Structure 1
Amino acid sequence: MEEDSGFSMLNDDIVLVVFAKLEDDPRHWARVACVCTRFSSLIRHFCWKTKCSQTLPSLLSDSPATCASLLKLAVCCPGLRHAGIAADRDASKNPKTCRKPHLARGNWDLRREQGCKLLARQFRDDCLYLCDWPGCVHPHKKRKYMLFRGIFKDFKTTRVWTSLDGDKRKKLPVECAFCTSRYTWDLHSAFCLRRGFGYQIDGEPVVRAYVCENGHVSGAWTDVPLFS
């Protein structure tokens, strides 16, 4: 515990200098934040907010919830269930398959170029930022799924949102992996994803993605790589 260590003798400014040495990988901050409430508060309100303001200023708002969601988005793989692959009822059949969110692998950067390549042509002007590929790889039913995550900037002003809301697309009872939203939409069945990705022999889509009302995206692709 931090209270029983030498860190309890240091003021916040010195502790923040130490934490700054760990900024190359946000997963380090996620682990440190689990040590105690003091560390968690410093990571959320100083380290991560400063990092976002430097690297993702267009996505950062004054809402603490937004900053917390961006931190989770940066470090957290959504898991197969949130990516629309593994149902809860499958858990007993294959307990080794990861379904819940967990610390992700790969670069944490959010990039719009990758999001543009994911969307159908009529939605290319929407700002979808995706974490660096390929993210985490998970096996399930003799396939390997490459999971990704991302966020729409100003989601309620995008053409994707207009399409989902205007067509009254059915929500799915799968909660978001990054915020408190209890439902998501399937971007594949709503024809928001680029058509060229195609399907597997058994009819399964090569790429799938789900979005919540706050614009957080969880998805997966398999077999055919998205980007060269």
Structure 2
Amino acid sequence: MFSVVIPTLQKSPKLGRLISSLDSVDLVGEILVINNAPEPLEFASQKVRILNQSENIFVNPAWNLGAEQARFPWLAILNDDVVLGRDFFSRAAWLLRTGRVGMVGLNKDHVIESPGGIRKFVPASPAYKRGIAFGMAMAMPTRNYVHIPENLKVFYGDDWIFYSQTLRNWTLRNIRIDTDVSVTSGAPKFLAMGREEERWYFANQPNTYLSRFGREQRVTRKLLDIAYGLRRMLPG
């Protein structure tokens, strides 16, 4: 079962749809909504726990809070402007049950047109780099969550968790997703914060994951290059 964590400033019109869709997923045991806005929130779902904040604590501290409050063995962190296909949780659970997965996220094909080819037909693949869509919806064993430092309030939290993992991360492909992309974090004041956080992150970034899987990444890339080369040589 999943504890789902959703920080919100109530800027996304998709939040109500998201909660409703999660309420109908059997694998979702609870929905922790971290309300960073002053206006109250109320949902009909019995799964929802609303954690109201006296002021905006920002997204990464909200993730930390949600992970601390989570009651279930698996944790999912979602943006408030993302509505996922129901199979996200069943397919993520299939990977997590192996006990050999750090975290699971989404692939960039979900926010730009898929390039097709061999990758189009791969349901899941190892992730050696945190892609641009990964942080929209992430799932992991709750014990695998890594506390994000207070210097990172809006950006690079997904990078911090991703590159701190000791087990292989994965991306799911061909998951239906409806998103507006960065409804809140795209605001100018947050982008200004991002420039300072970027400097801090790259001066302190974790290297656990790349130290463990960097060689595997290089070998995999070479094998894919060979596969694409062979595909171009085949007729039709």
Q: Is TM more than 0.5 here?
A: no
Q: TM-score, normalised by structure 2?
A: 0.29
Structure with more of its chain in strand, by fraction: 2
RCO greater where, 1 or 2, for CA within 8 Å and sep 6 or more?
Answer: 2
